[in-house]
Amino acid sequence: MRKLIALLLIVILFFPMAMASLSVISVSSWVLDRNFYTQLLGNERLYEVLLSEDLPNYFSRRVVTEVDDVPVSALSSALRAVVKPDYLRGEALRIVNDVFDFVEGRDFTLDLYLDIAPLKAALRGEDGPRFARALAEALPVCRAGQEPIIAGGTLYRCLPSDTSVEKAASDITAALPSYVDRYPDRLKLNDESIDMRRELRGAEFVVGFWCANGLSFAAFVLAAITAVFWFIAALLGGEDRRARLLWLGWSLLVPAVLIFCIGLAINTDFSLGWVRLGLNEARFEGVQYSAEFRQALLDVSRTALDTVANGFLMAGGVAGAIALALVAWGLGTPSERRLAPMATPVVAQPPQGESPAGPGA
């Protein structure tokens, strides 16, 4: 009966909790690591590809709203003249640091934005003519009846047949200072900033500590509770030290092997296929990313998956080593043989009325 109860504890409670504990431990090695994200987003190829189509599309929707018909290729050429991958990389790393400052309780307000003040300053200054020239050179010739500038607009969307590139570039350069002043220095990426002090009203220090240390604390508590059920099951299932060590070892070996196998599976093309599917379905403000940018993200994801897989491999490997050590220890421990209690000799009592020496004595 004791072994049955121990087996039920192992199957119903210990196995799921051990899987959860090892998973949390695996994830905790990278999910709240600031350096993990900054290294991933430090790849400049991401931003070189971003400049080819996605960023011009974004600026068409959020900045140059008057010229929705400006060809993306023309806008891309113009932006490449003034926007460099280093600028985009710096903005991405700043956003990551802002998020982690908020999560770690160093900053109680989270406001995600793209700082275009340097870009506006560049367009007002020496980079303005270069932007205008690149845009004018990349513009297609206007079709019959097509207006080069939309009513109320500023920038050319096509080049009139009777207008030279130099004339269009000069007009765009002259219009740029007043045009960029219409827009704020920051393009908000979230609809509303999150103020922890407003939402929590004085509890922000506690929450900041919890956000920074909560995952580690949760992993510790979950592992401690799992260990309690683990030891209880071993005490119930084993009758001596050898049997209890074997219960501990074999029961831990199963979740350890499963976690290790998950780590191996993450490093396969199967997992990368799911990432590719997710990127194909992803949308930013309702617009799908370009094929080149999705491929660049997929390449970055390979590095990320390696880190994720290593976390599971390490957790599964360490747990597996502990399990095998317990099994080896148990196999090397002699069984404790329980000796049967010695039987007490029974002395036959003589019948009543007879002497111990027997009849006739």
160-172 pLDDT, tens per residue? 888 899 999 998 8
Tokens encoding 92: 């991405």
pLDDT at 67: 46
Residue 79 has pLDDT above 80, yes or no: yes
In whole angstroms, what is the distance from residue 46 CA to residue 93 CA?
13
Per-residue pLDDT tens digits for 10-47: 999 999 999 999 999 999 888 888 899 998 888 888 88
74 burial class (0-12, 13-18, 19+ CB within 10 angstroms)? buried
- Report long-range pairs for 69-76 (Cβ below 8 Å, ≥24 apart): 69/150, 69/157, 69/158, 70/139, 70/155, 70/156, 70/157, 71/138, 71/139, 71/140, 71/157, 73/138, 74/135, 74/138, 74/139, 74/140, 75/135, 75/138, 76/51, 76/52, 76/138
Say if residues 136 and 159 touch (Cβ distance below 8 Å). Answer: yes
Domain boundaries, the chain: 2-116+183-331
Report the predicted TM-score, pTM, of the whole model to 2 decimal places: 0.72
The token pair that represents 275 in the structure block: 């990432």
Do residues 157 and 150 lie in contact, with contact meaning Cβ atoms separated by under 8 Å? yes
Candidate from 50-59, 129-138, 218-227 with smallest mean pLDDT:
50-59
